Structure 1
Amino acid sequence: MDVWGGNDLRNGIDCSGLTQQVFRAYGIELPRVTYDQINVGYSVPQNKLRPGDLVFFDTDRKKSGPDHVGIYMGGGKFIHAPRPGSPVKISSLAEGYYMDRWMAGRRIPGVDAASASGGGEALEVAPKLDATELAETYGMSYAFFKSQPELWKKLNQAVEETWTPERFQAEVKNTKWWQNTSATARQAQVMAKTDPATYKATMEGARAQAQQIAVKVGAILSPTNVELLARNIVHLAWNEEQVMGFVGQYVKFGADKTLGGMAGQAASAIRKEAYALGVSVTDQSILNSAQYLVRGLTTMEKVQAGLREHAASLYPAWGEQIMAGATMQELATPYRQVLAQELQLPESDVDVFSPKIKAALNRVGADGQPAPMDLNEFTQMVRSGPEWRRTTTAVDKAMGIGREVLAQMGLVS
């Protein structure tokens, strides 16, 4: 079993302890640690390895240099103590993990691979894989390579020219497909070919997610757009910001001219704020703001600030108070009360949008500066209009004047 720092074949041993003890059994002394063992003997390229050569790897990317060693056995296999707590095992140089972390091969003086293998020339024992094996060293199926013309060409070239796995890996990483396709997209494309059932289930889940998000925000997505969003979620690993940016484009009014979900809540808040400030807003303006809010291009605070600035420009005499937090419905309360009383209307039916109130609030003086009417002036203006003359107060007042005139003429007592 691999024991960090261990150097005993029975009680536990680490990777460099294993190589040291094995070589010692044949009368060859090696330094104790991997970092020193790599300096013994001479370098051997991977395609020239033979049994007994040491193979070195960089498994800890936080530190530079070799930190793992094994003994090459031939046929692309090596024996090593992989990690603390694990038994000594045989692994393949073609495994993606070791291909990525390969550092060097070293031939130790005194090791006779020819005699160990039964005589003859030094063995050519580099791992030689067929097309299917080469494809699988990347975790990709043969079928997937065949579906990508650029990769298919590389795979055939690798087999024909007997590339080593590491060269094949480097060549694949230099393809346009690899460089122009994100890791997530590569994974999804491979899944679609190698595990279609899982890919289908993943896409179904993404479609359901896309539809749920659309309902949540009040967007109306066509089947084509649902499919596009689902594909982007699976193939491009879109985050929430990207998803909302896409969905927000399709926030639309329903058949009843209302917005649903988050967009509907935003529209309601915008209408409420606009009414309080005495600002008229169009449906298109509300829709635009709701879309921007869903897409994260603005905030409700910014929308409300824009409405307040608009109100300050519409009611210049009251601009300072509006910017300080007051609403025009509040500022117009005395005028609303007078208008409601004089015209005998419920106060709830009178607001700042009344032409008479708006005229009173925005009257301009002789000097061209804002000069709102005082309440007495406003009362007289209201009473001069035809609406007031139809009220019972006006009728009673007219009747009273008529009786007084007739009494003065002696026609009534």
Structure 2
Amino acid sequence: MARGEDIVELARKSLGVKYVWGGNDLRNGIDCSGLVQQVYRRYGIELPRVTYDQINVGYSVQPNKLRPGDLVFFDTDRKRGGPDHVGIYMGGGRFIHAPRPGSPVKISSLSEGYYMDRWMGGRRVPGVAADAASGGGEAVEVAPRLDAHELAETYGASYAFFKSQPELWKLLNQAVEGQWDDAKWSAHVKNTKWWKTNSETVRQAKTLEKTDPATYKATMEAARVAARQIAVKAGAIMSEKNISNLARNMVYYNWNEQQVMNYVGQYIEFGKNHVLGGMAGQAAREIKREAYSLGVQVSEQSVLNNAAYLVRGVTTMEKIQASLRQQAAGLYPAFADQIEAGANVQQLAEPYRQVLAQELQLPDTDIDAFSPRIKQALNRVGSDGTPRPMTLTEFTDAVRNDPQWRRTTAAADRAVGIGRQVLAQMGLV
């Protein structure tokens, strides 16, 4: 005896096969009666070739008593009397058939108006068994028995999805055997390793991938587009593989903004012309400005690292600025209290800068707190070893003792002035 469910399963393998009038090939071309004959033949059941003869096999079954493996007949050509179309009942009010030229093997519903209006009858073929018993050759009314495909859809997934998960596939077969309801199925699924080791979002994504591949593909592509935009905005340089990994994590694990940025921040790198882009570039510029104002020299690698940490959310600009201020307080101990209170080292050095620029006749833009003479003046140490910055008078005298000062016009004018003063004192002018 062949099981009706097995017959249905074999017929499913021909879904999508093109319709060929008179065709007998389950893979390359078939018509409605050819589909029925060839499927049943695989289970050792010989049926006539044409619909008009097939309807005479077995015995009649009422629509509400159909079970998987029964034949359903229709009159689709009103110009000719009698049945001219046949399909294999699957359960749940659906049947599989080869409709007509241009329409391949597909699944349809008996509830569709077209087929309801053209219904001619159902037949149960000898040699086809079902779980419900038949008595005295008469069909007995039984509760509809759902096959693996129908139960899979009842449980909110697809047959293909369950086949892709060995643990769930085994469970589905048990459910088909016992015809589990939703509650029983849910209880068993929640006890599986698959359920316990995958979050809800992962389960949803994996289910969507197999149940609705088109939507899954569109969802992943949208996530990849978003991932690329985030990378550009952050200033990250990421390969397509890394972009895809990020997109998958966004979809499968529903990553929040912090998780996304922590991932992206790992790929902050210098681009062309050794510059950073996006958020990282903005952070780098701010770090450099702050370091300059505090008289602290920072390496490019340090700037890169801090910009990446900032994008990743590991640190904040306030923490970076506080760290730079601490460094500045250590570099200029005489002004530590002022620096920690918010003073700007470049501003503290401004009076010295003006003296140096004026005395040596240098452009203002060439002098800042990093200039050796100014840095030395700010960090002078007294004889007792304590910080003792130069006064402006001391700094001016020190500058004028520099050989470079003697070559300036200011030095010449000063010499002339002193000479006139001496001559005046001698009464010679």
Query: TM-score, with normalisation over the residues of structure 2?
Result: 0.63
* 1:350 and 2:362 aligned: no
* 1:202 and 2:214 aligned: no
* 1:294 and 2:311 aligned: yes
What is the letter of the counterpart of residue 302 of structure 1? K
How far apart are the structure 2 equivalents of 1:165 and 1:377? 91
SS at match of 1:270: helix
Verify the 8 A CA contact 1:127 1:164 in the aligned structure 2. no
From 347, 362, 372, the counterpart of 2:379: 362
Once the two structures are superposed, residues 144-185 of structure 1 have per-residue CA deviations (whole angstroms, 9 ceiling, x without a partner) of 000111111111222234444432222222111111111111
How far apart are the structure 1 equivalents of 2:372 and 2:412? 24
Verify the 8 A CA contact 1:134 1:165 in the aligned structure 2. no
Once the two structures are superposed, residues 371-394 of structure 1 have per-residue CA deviations (whole angstroms, 9 ceiling, x without a partner) of 111111111211222322332223
2:240 match: 223
* 1:314 and 2:331 aligned: yes
How far apart are the structure 1 equivalents of 2:219 and 2:366? 56
How far apart are the structure 2 equivalents of 1:194 and 1:320? 67
How far apart are the structure 2 equivalents of 1:385 and 1:397? 15
How far apart are the structure 1 equivalents of 2:201 and 2:344? 51
1:138 match: 155
Alignment of 1:48-67 (within 5 A): none
How far apart are the structure 2 equivalents of 1:220 and 1:288? 14
2:199 match: 182
What is the letter of the counterpart of residue 356 of structure 1? R
1:171 match: 188
How far apart are the structure 2 equivalents of 1:124 and 1:367? 110
Once the two structures are superposed, residues 20-53 of structure 1 have per-residue CA deviations (whole angstroms, 9 ceiling, x without a partner) of xxxxxxxxxxxxxxxxxxxxxxxxxxxxxxxxxx
Residue 229 of structure 1 deviates from its aligned partner by 0.6
* 1:387 and 2:401 aligned: no
Alpha-carbon spacing, 1:127–1:321, altered in 2? closer, same or farther (3 Å) = farther
* 1:378 and 2:395 aligned: yes
Query: TM-score, with normalisation over the residues of structure 1?
Result: 0.65
Structure 2 residues without counterparts, runs of 5 or longer = 1-90, 93-139
Verify the 8 A CA contact 2:359 2:400 in the aligned structure 1. yes
* 1:275 and 2:317 aligned: no
Residue 235 of structure 1 deviates from its aligned partner by 1.2
Residue 141 of structure 1 deviates from its aligned partner by 0.1
How far apart are the structure 1 equivalents of 2:422 and 2:344? 48
2:57 match: none
Residue 367 of structure 1 deviates from its aligned partner by 1.0
* 1:284 and 2:298 aligned: no
How far apart are the structure 2 equivalents of 1:377 and 1:341? 15
SS at match of 1:376: helix
Once the two structures are superposed, residues 72-104 of structure 1 have per-residue CA deviations (whole angstroms, 9 ceiling, x without a partner) of xxx99xxxxxxxxxxxxxxxxxxxxxxxxxxxx
2:320 match: 303
Residue 368 of structure 1 deviates from its aligned partner by 0.8
Residue 143 of structure 1 deviates from its aligned partner by 0.5
How far apart are the structure 2 equivalents of 1:141 and 1:302? 52
Q: Aligned pairs, how many?
A: 290
What is the letter of the counterpart of residue 213 of structure 2? P
What is the letter of the counterpart of residue 290 of structure 2? E
- The percent of aligned pairs where both chains have the same amino acid is 67
Residue 137 of structure 1 deviates from its aligned partner by 2.1
Once the two structures are superposed, residues 229-267 of structure 1 have per-residue CA deviations (whole angstroms, 9 ceiling, x without a partner) of 111111111111111111111111112111111111111
Residue 336 of structure 1 deviates from its aligned partner by 0.7
Residue 138 of structure 1 deviates from its aligned partner by 2.0
Alignment of 1:236-255 (within 5 A): 236-255=253-272
Verify the 8 A CA contact 2:334 2:387 in the aligned structure 1. yes
How far apart are the structure 2 equivalents of 1:244 and 1:317? 41
Alpha-carbon spacing, 1:392–1:282, altered in 2? closer, same or farther (3 Å) = same
Verify the 8 A CA contact 2:155 2:182 in the aligned structure 1. no
Which deviates more, 184-193 or 139-148?
184-193
Residue 348 of structure 1 deviates from its aligned partner by 2.9
Alignment of 1:81-160 (within 5 A): 128-160=145-177
What is the letter of the counterpart of residue 216 of structure 1? K
Residue 356 of structure 1 deviates from its aligned partner by 0.5
* 1:330 and 2:354 aligned: no
1:16 match: none
What is the letter of the counterpart of residue 377 of structure 1? E
Verify the 8 A CA contact 1:203 1:231 in the aligned structure 2. yes
From 358, 362, 378, the counterpart of 1:341: 358
Once the two structures are superposed, residues 329-381 of structure 1 have per-residue CA deviations (whole angstroms, 9 ceiling, x without a partner) of 11111111110111101223211101111111111111111111111111121
SS at match of 2:242: helix
SS at match of 1:253: coil
SS at match of 2:274: coil
Residue 206 of structure 1 deviates from its aligned partner by 0.7
